[in-house]
A and B are shown apart, each in its own frame.
Chain A
Amino acid sequence: MRRRSLLTAAAASTLAAAPLAAGCGPASSPSASGGGSRRGHLTYGVWDVYQVPAMKRVAREFERSRPGVTVDVQLTPNGTYWTKLRTACTGGSAPDVFWMNGPNFGMYADAGQLLPLETDGPEPVLRSADFPPDLVSLYRWKGVQYGVPKDFDTVALWFNKEIFDRAKVDYPDASWSWQDLITNAQRLTDRKRGIYGVGAPVREQENYYNSVPQAGGWVISPDKRRSGYSDERTLEGLRLWIDLIHRYRASPTLQQMTDTDPTQMFQSGTLAMTYEASYNAATFHADRELRAKVDVAPMPKGRRRATVLHGLANVIYARTPQPELAREFVRFLGGKRASLLQGKYGTAIPARNGTAEPWAAGMPRFDLQVHLDALDYAVPYPSSANSAAWQHKDQMWLAKAWSGDLSLKEATSSLTTAMNQLLAQERKGES
C-alpha cells in the first residue's frame, strides 16, 4: 500500500514537472480560485472506522475540485494509530495529512513534527474566527497554530425513557442540579431487576473532566506546571462519582463497570442514565430499538455549568513532500462545504461555526441541540506536552479511590505528586 502510493507519487511528480518547468511562477499563485493545475498524491491518516465513509466522501470532493490530485484515506485502528504514527514520523514516512487529538498534540508540536499553519495573511489555512476559540487554542503551541479543528464533542446526560416511566420519575432537563441527579438516580435504581440510576466510571472526558470544572476545580494549571488534583474543589468534583457508587448506591460498582462497560449497560437497558460524548449519538441512533427509548438532556449543574470541549484536528506532517497541496487540502477540510458534508454522516459534529445543524437535524428523534448548546459553557480540554503520561496516572490512582481501596485524599495526593513530577520532566524535555 505504502509502496504503491510512493510509486504513484513518483509518477505524478514526473508529470507535474512539465507545467512547473514551463510556469515557474511564484509558488503561491494558483489554487485560490480552486482550479489549480497542481497534480499530486496525498495520504490522509485517520483512526475511526465509522468516519471513513465521510472522510472518503470529502476526499473525493477535493479530488473533483483539483483535477490530477488524488487523496488516499488510510485507516489505522485507534489501538495502533499512535504507535504507528510516531514510528512513521521518526522514519519520515507519516501520512501527509492526519488526525490529531488533544492528549497527543503537545508532543507532536513540541517535537516539530507538524507544519505551522497560517492564520492570517492573504491565504490563511484557517481563520480563527471560523471555529470555537477553545478548539483553535487546543491546537496552538507556543503561539503557533498547527491544526485546523475538524470536529468537536461535548458531553451530555443520556437517559432511558422507559426506565424513567416505570419508576415514575420526570425526565431530566436543564433545571437539574447534582442533587437532582443523586435523588433521581436513587429512585431509578432497582437492584432486584439489576437496574442502576447512573453510571459513574473512571472516564475523563465523559465524567470527571466535566464534574471537576462544574465544582469549580481544575485539572492542570493554565501554565501547565501544576496538577490541580489536590484542590478542594477538584476533590468535590471527583467525590460526586464515588458517592454515587458507595454512598448513594445509585451506580454499579467500579468492578461491575470494568466487567461490563456502562455504555453497553445503557444500550442493553440496565442503566437509566449515562454521561456520553456526542460522538455516541450516531451509535445510539443506529440501533432502531434503542433509538425509540432514549433521549438526551444537559448535564446537571454543579456550582456552575460546564462541559469539557474536545475535538480532533487535521494537521500536516512537517516533512511532507507536498506542503502546498497539503495546505490546500487541510483548508478545504476546514471549509464550509467539507464541514457540511461531514456533518451529514452524523458521526461527528463539524467544528466550523454554523455547520453543526445538519448533524443535529440528521437524528431528529434526539434533542441533539443540547450537545450544540453546550458550546456556550464549554471549558478547554486539559492538556500539556505529554498529556498521555499523566492521564495514565490519573486513571490508575483514581480507580483506587473509586473502588474504595484508597481514600480519595490518599489517591489524589499520590496522583498530584506523580503528575507534578511528570510535568517537571516535560519542562526539562525529558518526556
Chain B
Amino acid sequence: MSVEARTGPVVPGRRARASAVVGRELRRRERRFRHRDKWWGYALIAPAGLGLAVFYLWPVVQTVYYSLTRWGAFGGTTWIGLSNYRTLVADPEFWQSLANTGIYTGLVLLGIPLSMVLAVLLNLKGLRGTGVYRTLYFLPVVTMPAAVAVVWRWLYNGDVGILNQALSALGIDGTYWVSDPDTIRFAVAVVGVWMTVGHHMILLLAGLQSIPADYYEAASLDGAGRIRQFFSVTLPLLSPTLFFTTVLSVIQSLQVFDLVYLIIGANTQNSLQNPAFGEGQTVVMLFFQKAFFDNQRGYGAAIVCVLFVLIMALTAVQFRLQKRWVHYA
C-alpha cells in the first residue's frame, strides 16, 4: 500500500506540498521502522528459531551425514559413501515394510470420506446431541496410541477377543487378526482410521460451518436439490480442508510407528515370533529395529532419509495436483 493512498487523494496547492512533506517524513520513518522491526522480529523468534535449528535442522543434517557412514554401537563413524543406500535397495525387508506402510496409508486415507460423512451428518440442522457425538468421535484422538493399541490387541485376540465372540454369534469363524499375515494390515488400518476419524471430522465440521448459508439459498433458488447442493456447493468449498486433511494424513500414516509396534506386540519379550511381523512392520519400525537393536545406525539413518524424501515428494505431488480439485473461495 502506498503512502499516497494512506494520506488520501492528492490535491493541488499548499496542502499538496504539505502532504508531500508528510509523505516523505512517513516514508523515512517507515524505512527506519522496517529496519528496526526486522531486528526486533528476528530477536523475538530467536528462541524458537534456535530451538528449531538445534533440535530439528541440525539433526536432519546429521542424519543425512550418518546415512553415508557406518556408525558403531558406541559412536565412531566411518565414511562409506552410498553403501547403505545400495544395501537398502537390495534389502527385501525394506521393500516389504515400504509396501506395508503404503497399504496402511492407502487404507487410512479411506477414513477421510468416512469423516466427511460424519461431519455432514453432525452438521445437520436440528440434530440433537451433536455435542455428545462430537466428543465421542473425538475421544480416540486424545487417547494415547499406546493405550489404544493395547486395548485393540485384546479386542482382536483370536481366542478370547470380543470381536471373534461377536462374529461367532453370527456364525462366522474369526481369525487371529493380529497374528495372521493376511489380516494384520487391515486390522491395524481399522484402528488407524478409528483414531484419526475424529480429528478429520472436527476439521471438516469447521470447514462446513464456514460456508455461508447464502450459497445454499442461492443454490436452492436455482433449483438445486440437496445432493446437487452437496456436490456443487459443499464439496468445492470444503476442498481446501479436504486437501489439508489428506496431506496431513499421508504424512502421519507414512510415519506410523507406535500403534503398529504395539499391536504387533513388538514390545513383548518374544515379539518376533508373531508370524505376521513381516507383513505388519512399517518403515519406521524397521528403522527402529536396525538403529537401536541391530546397531546398524548408519543404515537406520539411510532408511529414514529415504522415507523423508518420499514424504517430501508425495507432498509436493499433492500440492501440484491441488490445482485440479481444490477451490479457494
A430 contacts chain B at the CB level, 8 A cutoff? yes
Partner of B160, one of A107, A201, A260, A405: A260
Interfacial chain B residues near A256, Cβ < 8 Å:
158-159, 176
A258 contacts chain B at the CB level, 8 A cutoff? yes
A79 contacts chain B at the CB level, 8 A cutoff? yes
Main secondary structure of the interface of B (DSSP, over half): loop
Interfacial chain B residues near A373, Cβ < 8 Å:
none
Closest to B267 in A: A79
Identify the stretch in B27-35, B211-219, B245-253, B268-276 within 8 Å (CB) of chain A at 4 or more residues: B268-276
A424 contacts chain B at the CB level, 8 A cutoff? no
Interfacial chain B residues near A396, Cβ < 8 Å:
272, 277-278
Partner of A399, one of B178, B275, B296: B275
Q: Known: A90-B75, A107-B73, A405-B181. Contact between A399 and B157, CB under 8 A?
A: no
List residues of A (191-209) whose CB comes within 8 Å of B's CBs: 194, 201-203
Across chains A and B, the number of contacting residue pairs, with CB separation under 8 Å, is 97
Tell me whether A405 and B70 are in contact (CB under 8 A). no
Identify the stretch in A33-41, A146-154, A384-392 within 8 Å (CB) of chain B at 4 or more residues: A384-392
Most buried by B among A83, A260, A399, A430: A399
List residues of A (247-275) whose CB comes within 8 Å of B's CBs: 253-261
B72 contacts chain A at the CB level, 8 A cutoff? yes
Interface range on chain B (Cβ under 8 Å from partner)? 35 or more
Tell me whether A399 and B268 are in contact (CB under 8 A). no
Min C-beta distance of A275 to chain B, whole Å:
12
Interfacial chain A residues near B289, Cβ < 8 Å:
392
B293 contacts chain A at the CB level, 8 A cutoff? yes
Tell me whether A258 and B275 are in contact (CB under 8 A). yes
Partner of A259, one of B73, B74, B179: B179
Q: How far, in whole Å, are A220 and B269 apart by their CA atoms in the complex?
A: 22
Most buried by A among B160, B178, B274: B274
Tell me whether A431 and B73 are in contact (CB under 8 A). yes
B239 contacts chain A at the CB level, 8 A cutoff? no
Tell me whether B293 and A402 are in contact (CB under 8 A). no
Tell me whether A399 and B273 are in contact (CB under 8 A). yes
Tell me whether B70 and A254 are in contact (CB under 8 A). no
List residues of B (75-95) whose CB comes within 8 Å of A's CBs: 75
Min C-beta distance of A23 to chain B, whole Å:
36
Q: Known: A90-B75, A431-B73. Contact between A388 and B277, CB under 8 A?
A: no
Closest to B292 in A: A83
Min C-beta distance of B50 to chain A, whole Å:
22
Tell me whether B179 and A258 are in contact (CB under 8 A). yes
Tell me whether B180 and A388 are in contact (CB under 8 A). no
Tell me whether A201 and B270 are in contact (CB under 8 A). yes
Q: How far, in whole Å, are A261 and B273 apart by their CA atoms in the complex?
A: 11
Min C-beta distance of B207 to chain A, whole Å:
41
Partner of A202, one of B156, B176, B272, B278: B272
Closest to B176 in A: A255
Interfacial chain B residues near A405, Cβ < 8 Å:
181, 275
Min C-beta distance of B163 to chain A, whole Å:
12
Interfacial chain B residues near A400, Cβ < 8 Å:
275, 278
List residues of B (151-196) whose CB comes within 8 Å of A's CBs: 153, 156-161, 176, 178-181
Q: Known: A255-B158, A259-B178. Contact between A89 and B273, CB under 8 A?
A: no
The 8 A CB mask of A394-431 against B (1 = contact, 0 = none) is 01101110110100000000000000000000000111
A113 contacts chain B at the CB level, 8 A cutoff? yes
Tell me whether B270 and A203 are in contact (CB under 8 A). yes
Min C-beta distance of A406 to chain B, whole Å:
10
B295 contacts chain A at the CB level, 8 A cutoff? yes
Q: Known: A79-B267, A258-B178, A431-B295. Contact between A395 and B275, CB under 8 A?
A: no
A111 contacts chain B at the CB level, 8 A cutoff? yes
A365 contacts chain B at the CB level, 8 A cutoff? no
Interfacial chain A residues near B159, Cβ < 8 Å:
194, 256, 259-260
Closest to B160 in A: A260
Partner of B275, one of A82, A111, A403: A403
B4 contacts chain A at the CB level, 8 A cutoff? no
The contact sample of 15 A-B pairs, CB cut-off 8 A, is: A90-B75, A113-B74, A201-B273, A255-B158, A255-B179, A256-B159, A386-B295, A392-B294, A395-B270, A395-B272, A395-B273, A399-B277, A402-B275, A403-B275, A429-B72
**B interface vs A, CB < 8 Å?**
70, 72-75, 153, 156-161, 176, 178-181, 265, 267-270, 272-278, 289, 292-296
